[in-house]
Amino acid sequence: MDVVTLDLSNQRLTGEISVPGDKSISHRAVMLGAIAEGTTQIEGFLDGEDCLRTIEIFQQLGVEIVRENQSVTVVSPGIANWKTPKSALYAGNSGTTARLLTGILAGSSITTILTGDDSLSKRPMNRVIEPLRAMGASISSAITQNYLPLSIEGVQLNPIDYKMPVASAQVKSAILFAGLSIDGETVVIEKVHSRDHTERMLEQFGATIERRGNRVTVIGNKKLTGTNVHVPGDISSAAFLMVGAAITKGSSITIKNIGLNATRTGILDVLFRMGADVTVHNVEDLNGEPYGHVDISNAPLTAIEIGGDIIPTLIDELPIIALLATQATGTTIIKDASELRVKETDRIMAVTTELKKLGANIEATSDGMIINGPTPLLGGTLSSHGDHRLGMMAAIASLISSKKVEIENASCIAISYPSFFDDLKKLAISSDLKG
């Protein structure tokens, strides 16, 4: 098992950095580039493990994809001309790949088998299979309860008006992608807005999309054409460095060109409400996605309550927000976040287990966590549980731990942030401010 040992106890973070491209947008750019006919040029692509699995899958379907670092060229004959793959499609650890692809393949003209790693094979696929079956999809699972591996036979689907039982961009996107193949209107109704990169990018590729309140409608059977996509930096990756700066005495950093889509910026609201010194500037818009720079410095932090509609806008940031809360004065309550239990690992269980090892005062609840702070953190050996976001949380904890932190199974960080340790080292400088 790979172990990384960090002793950042006498370091603070300063300087400017750009983080790698947004994972959600990178997946969608390859997927839409493959569905569309013609050439799609993607700049700022995230070369993380999850997005590489998405590329490999479309290459198996006969789409020409050439990657040179963060530049990706997709040349596709269009979804109607995809080839039946010779072997199963492997989504690795990536829930986004598996769920969005299930929607795309359900309305294609090929038959495929979709597999994943151990973690992904335990994550619920029923949430996409149920609505897709209601649209007429032919999907069967080798295992009961609809987990991977899945066998998907592409068929002609029917439109649906689907009320989402959980806030999930993956479910919404799977249905919208399936709707592209249908001569008619496919409608998704959300109680709470989840990230909307799919809707924004569908428009860029020429799809007809209508958005009214909580209703998204795709009018299918329209030819999509390849285009250029510029991927902004991933705010979910930046969140680790932002929290590192917020909790470490004497820190002050700028993260440049990160995505600022309002369906993703809950972490900025939380940092601001807790009292961190945060400024957003140079905001611009590219390909329908806002992005800009964020300055963040250490300041005294106060506990807050985090729940309700903000949760989908910061769902992937909750592990690092839990660490942030250990340094805030008072009781931070995180609620309405039971979705954390079905991520790469049960993130409520994993975060509370690992932060307790460092001495944090944190308890799990059925749908969140209760954290009392501020608490000095000790060093120790933490497990990533094979979850990239847990691994990065442990690394950032090292900045405020009195002794070294060992992270077991740290290589999983490459799933979303391959240059994480290099970037952290670039920003970390020795501090004489800490005693």
Residues taking part in catalysis: 316
Question: What is the per-residue DSSP string for 288-323?
Answer: TEEEEEEEEE----B--EE-GGGGGGTGGGHHHHHH
Residues 28 and 228: their CA atoms lie apart, in Å, by 13
Query: How far is residue 79's CA from residue 107's CA, in Å, rounded to a whole number?
Result: 9
**Residue whose CB is less far from ligand SPQ, 22 or 423:** 22
CB of 186 to ligand SPQ, least distance (A): 18
Cβ-based nearer residue to ligand SPQ, 199 or 423: 199
With tokens 């957003």, the residue in question is 280
Nearer to ligand SPQ, 104 or 303 (CB): 104
**Residue 379: CB minimum distance to ligand SPQ, A:** 26
Q: What residues are paired with 74 via a beta bridge?
A: 40, 65
Query: Smallest gap, in angstroms, from Cβ of residue 236 to ligand SPQ?
Result: 6
241 or 377: CB nearest ligand SPQ: 241
Smallest separation (angstroms) from ligand SPQ to the CB of 97: 7
CB of 331 to ligand SPQ, least distance (A): 26
Backbone dihedral region for residue 145 (phi beyond 0: left; psi -120 to 50: alpha; all else: beta): left
Closer to ligand SPQ at the Cβ: 82 or 417? 417
- Decide: 152 and 95 in contact? Cβ < 8 Å: no
- Interacting residues of 418 by C-beta distance below 8 A, sequence separation 6+: 20, 47, 48, 49
Give, in degrees to the nearest 5, the angle at Cα 359 between 356 and 365: 35
CB of 20 to ligand SPQ, least distance (A): 13
Instruction: Please give the residue whose beta carbon sits closest to ligand SPQ in the complex.
Output: 95
d(CA 325, CA 271): 10
Residues that bind ligand SPQ (CB under 6 A): 23-24, 50, 94-96, 168-170, 173, 194-195, 315-316, 339, 343-344, 389, 416
Question: Among candidates 139, 225, 216, 154, which has minimal Cα distance to 185?
Answer: 216
Minimum distance of ligand SPQ from residue 341's CB (angstroms): 11
Look up tokens 């705010």; give the residue.
235
Please name the amino acid found at residue 335. K
368 forms beta bridges with 365
First and final C-alpha spacing in the chain: 34
Judged by beta carbon, residue 194 or residue 261, the one nearer ligand SPQ is: 194
Closer of 333 and 342 to ligand SPQ (Cβ) = 342
* Closer of 357 and 389 to ligand SPQ (Cβ): 389
User: Encoding tokens for residue 45?
Assistant: 């692509």
Rounded to 5 degrees, what angle do the CA atoms 245, 372, 366 make?
Answer: 105
Neighbours of 282 (CB within 10 A): 10
CB atoms within 10 A of CB 37: 16
Secondary structure of residue 194 in the 3-state scheme: coil
Give the angle 293-298-300 at the CA atoms, nearest 5°: 130
